[in-house]
Amino acid sequence: MAKKAKTSKKAPWDKANPKKKAGKKSKKLTPAKKAKAKKAAKKAGRKYPSLVDNMNAAKAKKTKKASVKKSAAKKSRKAKTKKSAK
């Protein structure tokens, strides 16, 4: 049976920023992603988000269903305002 190679898992705060190594600028978190990180921190009992909270918020992607629901809601609101304006 073959032995597994040991992989050293460094904590995120011990690693160098890969974007900086590549010569690229880091992107800022959007207000929605900041809110998500703050919510995760509060749930974990912290006053403010940690690096891990920020990384998870930045990594999370928007689902199609959520964006479709929002656009449908906007359309229905616009239709209601047009009817009331007439």
Label residue 41 by pLDDT band (50, 70, 90): very high
Distances 3 to 6, 9, 10 between C-alpha atoms, Å: 9, 18, 21
Q: Write out pLDDT tens, residues 52-80.
A: 999 999 988 876 665 566 666 667 666 66
pLDDT of residue 36: 95
Q: What are phi and psi of 45, to 5 degrees?
A: 90, 20
- The owner of tokens 């690096």 is 51
Question: Among candidates 8, 60, 10, which has minimal Cα distance to 32?
Answer: 60
Q: Is residue 74 part of a domain?
A: no
Q: Is residue 13 part of a domain?
A: no
Work out how many domains the chain is built from and give that number: 1
Structure tokens at 18: 């890969």
Structure tokens at 68: 């479709």
Q: Is residue 12 part of a domain?
A: no
86 has a pLDDT exceeding 60: no
Structure tokens at 12: 């995120």
Q: Is residue 11 part of a domain?
A: no
Mean pLDDT of the chain: 80
